[in-house]
Structure 1
Amino acid sequence: MDPIHITSEIGKLKVVVLHRPGEELENLTPDYLTDLLFDDIPYLKKAQEEHDAFAQVLRERGVEVLYLDQLAAEALATDALREQFVDDMLANSKQDTRRVTETLRQFLLDLPTHAMVRKLMAGVRKDEITLPPEHHQQLHDMVEKDHYPFYLDPMPNLYFTRDPAAAIGRGLTINKMHWPARRRESLFMRYIIDHHPRFAGKNVPVWYDRRENYSIEGGDELVLNREVMAIGISERTSAEAIEKMATKLFAGSDFKKVIAMEIPKSHAFMHLDTVFTMIDHDKFTIHPEIRDHGGKINCFILEKVEGQPFPRITRETDLEHVLRVALGLPAVTLIECGGGDRIAAAREQWNDGSNTLAIAPGVVVTYDRNYVTNQKLRDAGVEVIEVNGSELGRGRGGPRCMSMPIVREDV
């Protein structure tokens, strides 16, 4: 079997990539929350306990759980690769021309490989490194020595493994992240795909690369079936990236249609999967606020045209009709976050009530705190497996955000 095989959102989940949160969360402080895309500071010990319980739920359902840091460490099997990786990470951290760079580089390379990977994730504080005396003459350090605390910023969003890369068919997108705080994250998957023995030499196609000009993130990418995707035009995914990715996907795979759904560009609705997910062959969760008062939403349908280099694009506003046609179904059911109640919907969407992870058709993992939405799912015949996300949810992401499926059974 190919090392990546994703032909739906709902096929029985077989292999998933997670990241257990680490010291990067303890490097969050109130002064830098906004720059690092957080609203609050999770308590690491509890966040790890919650994440471990989430991973265990998946294992108990027969899912192989891989961890991002272990994959990255295993991929860096030679000294040359270690050095190349550190140099790339420093360059992407805007540290490639400073006097401190060589000291920082050597500090990282002196660590064992796994510890080095975790340190890059956690960030490097200024008080962790002793600089040669001549480096203190650098103007930037003289000005900022008592202010900004990091030489390398932490990556606290890494436990949302869905976003830096997304598996589609037998390939993936390695994503150009929208905000600078997250752009380094996709480097880990680039090295894993290129150098880890599980993936290297397996001809894994990359439908979109992190070096492209336009941003796209995995939370906006949903594989509805082996021929159809839905992608959010959102705060973090641009229309230009969608068209470019779809063009390459159509040319190199069995996919024939992409439904580009325009959602409000706001922090609350940062990705499509925070407001819309697929949970069964004909069932979806939806946050009602992404549709206008007439129930409409802009959907741009990109379709493969044989013999043409670019897709045909049409516009529709009836989401149910678009889904029925695309999936060949007589009807679809949209289950509203919070049961459609205005207050409950807003509260539970903020706490990722629509961010469900399907691990089999009609079987989803959700946060237990979203009890109104969870009951509506059960009323619709969906099996709901609840996990605690009181600390994990402070990062504004739920079970789907925290998982990167790479192998599912076909449905």
Structure 2
Amino acid sequence: MIKLNVTNETSRLRAVVLGTAISNGPTPTEDQAYDPKSLEHIKAGTYPVEADMVREMEALAEVFKKYNVKVYRPELIKDCNQIFTRDIAFVIDNVFVKANILPNREEELEAIQYVIDQIDPVKVVRPPEEVHIEGGDVMLWNDHIFIGTYKGSDYKNYITARTNMEGVQYIKDLFPNKIVKEFDLVKSKIEAKDNALHLDCCFQPIGKNKGIIYKSGFREESDYLYLVDLFGKENLFHITRDEMYNMNSNVFSIAEDVVISEKNFTRLNSWLRDNGFTVEEVPYAEIAKQEGLLRCSTLPLIRD
């Protein structure tokens, strides 16, 4: 049995589901793109190729091996993008929540069923159909749960809006003892530099009391100020529009003092080192072209 335990983003990682880029399928057509960044690369002919993405994911797997983290991989589905396990499910405390993902991604969940079978079935939940919520929008911070959403009345017009207010309410009902705070995110179907696909595209806690943040990813300044008040401005690394576009906030913590980061994030990585973090650098720039990075391709199951 897998005894789930995840209460924050940074405690020592013991078990994780890491996606796979093998048999990723052909380059999508323009009308198959889920987000503006993928669309940009499809149009430019720079969409990532499978061999490069497999190499990047193996570099990440090596880091997990180095730190003795138990790694589960999805069963292979031919010609299917199975990189982003964070979208399909997430763990809060000891509860495994299956996400209501875009319908054509349902088989991705079936590919990790062998993992779900090792969890106490009482601890596995699936929200009702009208509840939209994806793991990239759910961030745990001890007694807090931060959730990215989109409050615009045109929610249904945005394929980039992945978590609705029903999703926020569902988590509030499921965890009545937690402080659940939602954040209204900026969405764009056409400009990748102005699209916060998930909360982890514009914010992520690291260490004990620090975070990476992109101020313009929030539609309401009050949401941004909430985090500034909670963490303290001096503890937040503010990223630029270009750094947000390159997914600088989508790093992944193995422990309070160990962060896996993309090797090209020079400004961020030196700030992390200056602040006492061990930075494990991996190449992930090809996968980043699909508007997802390190946090997106991991589904933590157990942290100390």
Q: Normalising TM by the smaller chain, what interval?
A: 0.7 to 0.9
User: Structure 1 35/11 Cα, relative in aligned 2: closer, same or farther at 3 Å?
Assistant: closer
Q: Per the alignment, in what secondary structure is the counterpart of residue 9 of structure 2?
A: coil
Per the TM alignment, residue 2 of structure 1 is displaced from its structure 2 partner at its CA by 5.0
CA distance in 2, matches of 1:35, 1:365: 26
Per the TM alignment, residue 185 of structure 1 is displaced from its structure 2 partner at its CA by 3.0
What is the Cα-based RMSD across aligned positions, in Å?
A: 2.5
Count of paired positions: 282
The partner residue of 2:180 within 247, 253, 258 is 258
Q: Deviations over 1:43-65 (max 9, x none)?
A: 11121111111100111012111
User: Structure 1 208/262 Cα, relative in aligned 2: closer, same or farther at 3 Å?
Assistant: farther
CA distance in 2, matches of 1:281, 1:360: 10
Per the TM alignment, residue 208 of structure 1 is displaced from its structure 2 partner at its CA by 4.1
1:392 paired residue number: 287
Q: Per the alignment, in what secondary structure is the counterpart of residue 147 of structure 2?
A: strand
Q: Deviations over 1:335-360 (max 9, x none)?
A: 112xxxxxxx2222112111110110
Q: Does 1:279 align with 2:206?
A: yes
Q: Does 1:243 align with 2:169?
A: yes
State the AA in 2 paired with 1:335. Answer: F
Q: Does 1:232 align with 2:158?
A: no
CA distance in 2, matches of 1:331, 1:348: 19
CA distance in 2, matches of 1:218, 1:347: 24
Q: Is this contact kept in 2: 1:348–1:373, CA < 8 A?
A: no
Q: Which runs of 5+ in 2 are unaligned?
A: 42-46, 151-160
Per the TM alignment, residue 376 of structure 1 is displaced from its structure 2 partner at its CA by 2.4
Q: Does 1:373 align with 2:289?
A: no
Q: Does 1:404 align with 2:302?
A: no
State the AA in 2 paired with 1:62. Answer: N
User: Structure 1 248/233 Cα, relative in aligned 2: closer, same or farther at 3 Å?
Assistant: same
Which is higher, the Rg of structure 1 or of structure 2?
A: 1
Per the TM alignment, residue 261 of structure 1 is displaced from its structure 2 partner at its CA by 1.6
User: Structure 1 384/297 Cα, relative in aligned 2: closer, same or farther at 3 Å?
Assistant: farther
Per the TM alignment, residue 278 of structure 1 is displaced from its structure 2 partner at its CA by 1.1
Q: Is this contact kept in 1: 2:183–2:218, CA < 8 A?
A: no
Q: Does 1:296 align with 2:255?
A: no
1:319 paired residue number: 227
CA distance in 2, matches of 1:68, 1:19: 6
Q: Is this contact kept in 1: 2:130–2:166, CA < 8 A?
A: no
The partner residue of 2:68 within 48, 59, 62 is 62
The partner residue of 2:92 within 141, 144, 168 is 168
TM-score, reference length from structure 1: 0.63
Per the TM alignment, residue 257 of structure 1 is displaced from its structure 2 partner at its CA by 1.3
User: Structure 1 259/332 Cα, relative in aligned 2: closer, same or farther at 3 Å?
Assistant: farther
Following superposition of structure 1 onto structure 2, how do residues 113-192 of structure 1 map, counting pairs within 5 Å?
A: 117-119=76-78, 122=79, 155-156=80-81, 158-177=82-101, 179-189=102-112, 191-192=113-114
The partner residue of 1:43 within 24, 46, 49 is 49
1:216 paired residue number: 133
CA distance in 2, matches of 1:265, 1:183: 24
Q: Is this contact kept in 1: 2:184–2:218, CA < 8 A?
A: no
Q: Does 1:352 align with 2:247?
A: yes
Q: Which runs of 5+ in 1 are unaligned?
A: 70-116, 123-154, 300-316, 325-329, 338-344
User: Structure 1 64/334 Cα, relative in aligned 2: closer, same or farther at 3 Å?
Assistant: same
Per the TM alignment, residue 318 of structure 1 is displaced from its structure 2 partner at its CA by 3.2
CA distance in 1, matches of 2:32, 2:242: 21
CA distance in 1, matches of 2:234, 2:106: 36
CA distance in 2, matches of 1:35, 1:271: 13
CA distance in 2, matches of 1:230, 1:184: 27
Q: Per the alignment, in what secondary structure is the counterpart of residue 46 of structure 1?
A: helix
Q: Does 1:206 align with 2:205?
A: no
Q: Is this contact kept in 1: 2:72–2:115, CA < 8 A?
A: no
Q: Is this contact kept in 1: 2:259–2:278, CA < 8 A?
A: yes
Q: Per the alignment, in what secondary structure is the counterpart of residue 261 of structure 1?
A: strand
State the AA in 1 paired with 2:134. Answer: E
CA distance in 2, matches of 1:331, 1:395: 30
User: Structure 1 160/35 Cα, relative in aligned 2: closer, same or farther at 3 Å?
Assistant: closer
Per the TM alignment, residue 331 of structure 1 is displaced from its structure 2 partner at its CA by 8.0
CA distance in 1, matches of 2:51, 2:203: 30
CA distance in 2, matches of 1:30, 1:275: 27
Per the TM alignment, residue 223 of structure 1 is displaced from its structure 2 partner at its CA by 1.2
